[in-house]
Amino acid sequence: MTGVPASAAGGSSGATSATSATSATNAKSATDAKGTQGAMGAQSVARASGAPGVPDGAWPVRGGKLGAAAVNQASLWNIANILTMVRLVLVPGFVVLMLMDGGYDPAWRAWAWAAFAVAMITDIFDGHLARTYDLVTDFGKIADPIADKAIMGAALICLSSLGDLPWWVTGVILGRELGITLLRFIVIRYGVIPASRGGKLKTLAQGTAVGMYVLMLEGPLATLRWWVMAVAVVLTVVTGLDYVRQAIVLRRRGIAEREAATEGAER
């Protein structure tokens, strides 16, 4: 009788099981290798094609996050900052044009008005571009308000020195601007005072009025510019008082929140 011993049968089944396990392990290794090669291939293709936000050594793993190096940072030389720099450069150019030939030449005053108008236009666009396209930088936060006040201050001082605008108007506008800027720095520890709609109207009225004074207008237009400047002065004072009110409220709220936090910590 020809038969297979039990030990042989067991050995055969054991060999079969071992072979199956080996095959499964090899298949898993092959799959892992293919997956790794696929990931490396995708990484190489993305790098070769210049995929944004994927620098060398910062490729994200599954379930992980990009490192700090992969975070987009706004460049100093972006369009918003360039417009701010242009406005700063226009300030001395505007002063020179305003004072050419004693400051009373209509042609030079027209060129000065053009420089002032460009500065006002860039003031509108640089902030909009910075917020819309996430181009806000520390340089822009500091340089933008300086450029705004520099061009407006230069125009007001030139007009008053030439006798075209009373000095008290220049004093009210510049005093308000400098005072509000200082107030913002004082209460910055409690929060930021947001720009109001009245503040934007004030800026528009000031720019329009000063621009009309830079041009040597006569007749009805000269009368009109006086009324526009009167509106600008009223808005300057009213919005300035509103900013003071907001600063007081912000400071009181900040102090109350700190005291409440301190009391909660002590308990």
Q: What is the pLDDT of residues 40-68, one digit of tens each?
A: 444 443 444 444 444 443 444 444 433 33
Round the CA-based radius of gyration of the chain to a whole number and report it. 35
Residue 259's pLDDT band, with cuts at 50, 70 and 90, is: confident
Decide if pLDDT at 69 tops 60.
no
Cβ proximity of 145 and 194 under 8 Å: no
Q: What is the pLDDT of residue 2?
A: 42
pLDDT above 60 for 194 = yes
Task: Write down the pLDDT at residue 3.
Answer: 43
CA pair distance 127, 156, nearest whole angstrom: 23
**Cα 102-105-108 angle, rounded to 5 deg:** 100
pLDDT at 199: 84
CA distances 48 to 44, 54, 70, Å, are 6, 11, 16
pLDDT at 138 over 60: yes
Cα 10 to Cα 2, 3, 24, 121: the distances in Å are 17, 13, 21, 91
Per-residue confidence (pLDDT) for residue 74, from 0 to 100: 57
**Percentage of residues of the chain with pLDDT beyond 90:** 37
Identity of the residue numbered 96: V
Q: Over the chain, what is the mean pLDDT?
A: 76
Rounded to an integer, the average pLDDT of 215-225 is 92
Q: Of 40-44, 68-72, 86-90, 134-138, where does mean pLDDT reach its minimum?
A: 68-72
Query: What gap in Å lies between CA 18 and CA 33, rounded to an integer?
Result: 22
Q: Which residues does 189 contact at the CB level (< 8 Å), separation at least 6?
A: 254
CB-based contact 129:80 (threshold 8 Å): yes
Amino acid present at 261: A
Point out the least confidently predicted range of 7-11, 112-116, 139-143: 7-11
Q: In this predicted model, which residue has the larger pLDDT, 82 or 99?
A: 99
Amino acid 35: pLDDT? 44
Mean pLDDT across the stretch 147-174? 94
CA distance 77 to 244: 35
Contact 122, 114 (CB under 8 A): no
- d(Cα 47, Cα 41) in Å, to the nearest integer? 10
Phi then psi dihedrals of residue 52, to 5 deg: -70, 145
**Highest mean pLDDT of the ranges 26-30, 72-76, 246-250:** 246-250
